[in-house]
């Protein structure tokens, strides 16, 4: 789901939203619960303060004129705050908590323990990747939904501070060079072209000026003119010089210092770091070798299903030859980006009315389709999703990549839309944000293994609502399933088993019909984000197992809609908690049927 944004440097999974725990709701709780929820509230507010851009994106405008503080002092303060929260948790009497609050305690404690453990691996010293960083900071303006005069004033205030943020970012990168925390050179070679897009001659051509070209029609003309003139001034005085400084530093100092090796294991204490990433992203005790073997098994299984579809369309040749046919035959591709966009839009409209077949409860928050900005489209993935604002001021967005339509096959449109929009990411995340009675850190955060596992699990739900009628679309669903299975093999291969980038690309090409451009971008994504790609398939396998278990146990009494409602009603949770929840639900449903 999604791309790495600049604020990911320090952002933990437990950020963030505007709403507060209302005191009147707390006073009726037992003292231990009051104490616990005060910790939640204090943590929330501190996270908001430390991650002001993310707060703004969620609708919390308290820090709307600020960037994240990346100074050394701020990092020390965050580490101390983490220790302090863990210390406060020690004082909670678990015996006096309700069952629901014990779950809240467990999840919160786990999150802060992971924060503390992450300090052993200072990967924040690598604040830039080819998929995002300060070089793409302008995208923040697109995501904030600027509407009022104050919104634009706040954006200007942020632009005034870009020079400070740039100095802090360069200082992090310098520390990274000194301590051996630098990214692979092969992926960072993409970044200079991204920085160059910020070095425009005219301020009005700057990507940071874009919001001022699309100001709300209801805004008074004198305000628009004043704000536009102020933007031109600050871009010329602060923004462009900051990026000129970054460009020189990056090319002269940073890029030459980047490492030749691609694997996380080549970082200081790198094997332990990657092992920790595997545990964190899967919420299991699996080792990299465990995951690698699961991947090999899944790849073999899906290849057999792909071969069956190939035979159904009466293709004469090997599966490798079929892949080449799918990659290169013009019938499978649009030539005009507008046609590709319309196909995404039409597919979303087709899916929306079918959701009542899968759920009894649907989110109130809508979603829309947006185009990935041209500045980063060549270097990023096919699509991603961004969540709605917590205050309802902005819907969820399904972002699609229109760069080079010849790399975006028609037969993947249905499965991609299911994953990124509905019943995938938008439905799950919007429902979670609308949950009542949960602490905000649970409503607006989550576990990748659940959110991405759900997205991948949802892809097969297309069969339940009448998608994939065309055999090539069915093959598209299998190709996406294969894509995530391949991830288990190549991610662990590169980061733990010593695979080269070329070996990973070759394995991907041999097992999935994706275009070479997309495959290379995917491999480079895994290189720059160790372990994250493992979450999808591991989560999907568990969810599919639970569905099969429920269906077998309940027979004709199995209600898929109720199963999905129960699976989603706690928000994103670790797999062990999900399994216990659904095991209890199956037992209760079986008892109800028996009665």
Q: How many whole angstroms separate alpha carbon 226 and alpha carbon 128?
A: 34
Question: pLDDT at residue 29 above 80?
Answer: no
Q: Which of 547, 549, 399, 519 is nearest to 460 (CA)?
A: 547
Q: Cβ(193)–Cβ(152) under 8 Å?
A: no
The mean pLDDT value for 173-180 works out to 98
- Whose tokens are 């919001």? That residue is 211
- The model's pLDDT over 441-475, given as tens digits with 9 standing for 90+, comes to 999 988 999 999 999 999 999 999 999 999 999 99
Q: DSSP per residue over 2-17, as a string?
A: ----GGGGT--TT---
Q: What is the pLDDT of residue 207?
A: 96
Q: How many whole angstroms separate alpha carbon 409 and alpha carbon 333?
A: 5
The mean pLDDT value for 232-260 works out to 98
The mean pLDDT value for 539-560 works out to 98
Question: pLDDT at residue 12 above 50?
Answer: no
Question: pLDDT at residue 588 above 80?
Answer: yes
- Whose tokens are 């323990």? That residue is 113
CA angle 159, 162, 168 (to 5 degrees): 160
Q: What is the pLDDT of residue 504?
A: 98
- The model's pLDDT over 389-438, given as tens digits with 9 standing for 90+, comes to 888 888 999 999 999 999 899 999 999 999 999 999 999 999 999 998 89
Q: Which of 255-269, 512-526, 546-560 has the lowest mean pLDDT?
A: 512-526
Number of helices followed by number of strands (H, E) in the chain: 28, 3
DSSP H helices, 250-355, are 255-257, 270-282, 288-312, 319-328, 337-351
- Whose tokens are 């899944």? That residue is 298
Q: DSSP per residue over 390-432, as a string?
A: TTSSS-EEEEE--S-GGGS-GGGHHHHHHHHTTTTHHHHHHHH
Residue 107, SS3?
A: helix
The mean pLDDT value for 151-175 works out to 98
Q: What is the pLDDT of residue 8?
A: 35
The mean pLDDT value for 363-378 works out to 92
Dihedral, CA atoms, 150, 152, 156, 161, nearest 10 degrees? 70
What stretch of H or E contains 433?
A: helix 425-433
Residue 181: HSE in the Cβ half-sphere, 13 Å Cα cutoff: 18
Q: DSSP per residue over 195-264, as a string?
A: HHTT--SSGGGSGGGHHHHS--TTS-HHHHHHHHHHHHHHIIIIIHHHHHHHHHHIIIIIHHHSBS--SG
170 vs 33, 162, 394, CA distance in Å?
43, 12, 32
The mean pLDDT value for 333-355 works out to 97
Tokens of 20: 């507060």
What stretch of H or E contains 588?
A: helix 575-594
Tokens of 296: 């090999």
Q: How many whole angstroms separate alpha carbon 144 and alpha carbon 46?
A: 21
What stretch of H or E contains 367?
A: strand 367-371
Q: How many whole angstroms separate alpha carbon 426 and alpha carbon 418?
A: 10
Q: Cβ(188)–Cβ(255) under 8 Å?
A: yes
- The model's pLDDT over 123-155, given as tens digits with 9 standing for 90+, comes to 999 999 999 999 999 999 988 889 999 999 999
The mean pLDDT value for 3-19 works out to 34
Question: pLDDT at residue 519 above 70?
Answer: yes
CA angle 473, 477, 481 (to 5 degrees): 160
Q: How many whole angstroms separate alpha carbon 59 and alpha carbon 444?
A: 12
Q: How many whole angstroms separate alpha carbon 540 and alpha carbon 452?
A: 8
With bands split at pLDDT 50, 70 and 90, how would you rate the model's confidence at 16?
very low
- Whose tokens are 């992090």? That residue is 172
The mean pLDDT value for 506-524 works out to 93
Strand 396-400 relative to strand 383-386, pairing: antiparallel
Question: pLDDT at residue 9 above 60?
Answer: no
- The model's pLDDT over 59-92, given as tens digits with 9 standing for 90+, comes to 899 999 999 999 999 999 999 999 999 999 999 9
Question: pLDDT at residue 591 above 60?
Answer: yes
- The model's pLDDT over 280-298, given as tens digits with 9 standing for 90+, comes to 999 999 999 999 999 999 9
The pairs formed by 42-45 with CB atoms below 8 angstroms and a separation of 24 or more are 42/85, 43/14, 43/85, 43/108, 43/112, 43/441, 44/16, 44/17, 44/20, 44/440, 44/441, 45/20
Question: pLDDT at residue 5 above 80?
Answer: no
Question: pLDDT at residue 517 above 90?
Answer: no
178 Ramachandran zone, left/alpha/beta (phi>0; psi -120 to 50)? alpha
pLDDT, the chain, mean? 93
The mean pLDDT value for 309-333 works out to 96
Residue 203: HSE in the Cβ half-sphere, 13 Å Cα cutoff: 15
Q: Which of 15-19, 519-523, 553-557 has the lowest mean pLDDT?
A: 15-19
With bands split at pLDDT 50, 70 and 90, how would you rate the model's confidence at 20?
very low
Q: How many whole angstroms separate alpha carbon 45 and alpha carbon 162?
A: 24
Question: pLDDT at residue 311 above 90?
Answer: yes
- Classify each residue of 532-567 as buried b or exposed e, where b means 16 or more C-beta atoms within 10 Å of its C-beta: bbbbbbbbbbbbeebbeebeeebeeebeeeebbbbb
DSSP symbol at 124: G
Q: What is the pLDDT of residue 2?
A: 41
Strands of the sheet with 396-400, listed across from one edge: 367-371, 396-400, 383-386
Question: pLDDT at residue 24 above 60?
Answer: no
484 vs 270, 399, 481, CA distance in Å?
24, 19, 5
């Amino acid at each position: 789901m999604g791309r790495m944004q600049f604020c990911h440097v320090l952002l933990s999974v437990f950020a963030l939203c505007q709403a507060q725990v209302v005191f009147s709701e707390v006073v009726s709780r037992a003292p231990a619960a009051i104490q616990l929820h005060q910790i939640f509230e204090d943590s929330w507010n501190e996270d908001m303060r430390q991650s002001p851009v993310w707060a703004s994106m969620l609708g919390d405008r308290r820090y709307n004129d600020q960037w994240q503080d990346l100074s050394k002092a701020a990092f020390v303060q965050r580490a101390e705050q983490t220790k302090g929260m863990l210390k406060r948790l020690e004082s909670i009497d678990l015996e006096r908590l309700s069952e629901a609050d014990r779950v809240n305690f467990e999840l919160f404690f786990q999150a802060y323990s992971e924060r503390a453990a992450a300090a052993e691996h200072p990967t924040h010293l690598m604040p830039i990747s080819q998929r995002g960083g300060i070089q793409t900071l302008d995208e923040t303006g697109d995501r904030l939904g600027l509407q009022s005069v104050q919104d634009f004033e706040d954006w200007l205030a942020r632009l005034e501070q870009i020079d400070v943020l740039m100095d802090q970012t360069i200082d992090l990168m310098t520390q990274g060079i000194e301590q051996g925390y630098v990214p692979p050179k092969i992926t960072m070679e993409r970044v200079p072209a991204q920085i160059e897009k910020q070095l425009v001659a005219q301020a009005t051509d700057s990507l940071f000026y874009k919001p001022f070209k699309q100001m709300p029609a209801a805004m008074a003309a004198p305000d628009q003119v004043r704000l536009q003139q102020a933007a031109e001034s600050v871009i010329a005085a602060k923004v462009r010089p900051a990026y000129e400084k970054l460009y020189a530093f990056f090319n002269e100092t940073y890029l030459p210092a980047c490492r030749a090796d691609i694997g996380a294991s080549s970082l200081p204490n790198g094997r332990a770091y990657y092992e920790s990433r595997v545990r964190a992203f899967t919420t299991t005790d699996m080792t990299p070798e465990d995951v690698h073997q699961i991947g090999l098994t899944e790849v073999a299984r899906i290849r057999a299903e792909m071969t069956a579809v190939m035979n159904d369309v009466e293709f004469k040749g090997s599966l490798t030859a079929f892949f080449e046919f799918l990659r290169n035959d013009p019938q499978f591709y649009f030539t005009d980006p507008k046609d590709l966009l319309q196909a995404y839009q039409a597919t979303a409209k087709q899916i929306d009315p079918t959701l009542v077949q899968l759920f009894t409860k649907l989110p109130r928050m809508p979603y829309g389709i947006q185009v990935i900005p041209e500045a980063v489209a060549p270097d990023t993935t096919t699509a991603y999703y961004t969540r709605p604002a917590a205050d309802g001021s902005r819907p969820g967005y399904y972002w699609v990549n229109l760069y080079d339509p010849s790399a975006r096959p028609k037969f993947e449109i249905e499965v991609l839309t299911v994953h990124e929009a509905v019943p995938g990411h938008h439905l799950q995340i919007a429902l979670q944000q609308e949950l009542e009675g949960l602490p905000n850190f649970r409503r607006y955060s989550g576990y990748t293994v659940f959110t991405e596992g759900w997205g991948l699990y949802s892809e097969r739900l297309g069969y339940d609502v009448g998608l994939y009628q065309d055999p090539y679309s069915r093959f598209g669903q299998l190709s996406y399933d294969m894509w995530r299975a391949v991830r288990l093999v190549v991610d662990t291969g590169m980061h733990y088993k010593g695979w080269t980038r070329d070996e990973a690309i070759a394995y991907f090409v041999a097992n999935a019909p994706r275009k070479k451009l997309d495959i290379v971008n995917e491999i480079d994504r895994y290189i720059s984000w160790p372990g994250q790609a493992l979450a999808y398939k591991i989560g999907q396998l568990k969810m599919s197992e639970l569905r099969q278990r429920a269906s077998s146990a309940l027979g004709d009494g199995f209600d898929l809609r109720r199963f999905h409602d129960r699976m989603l009603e706690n928000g994103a949770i670790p797999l062990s908690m999900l399994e216990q929840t659904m095991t209890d639900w199956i037992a209760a449903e079986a008892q109800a049927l028996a009665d």
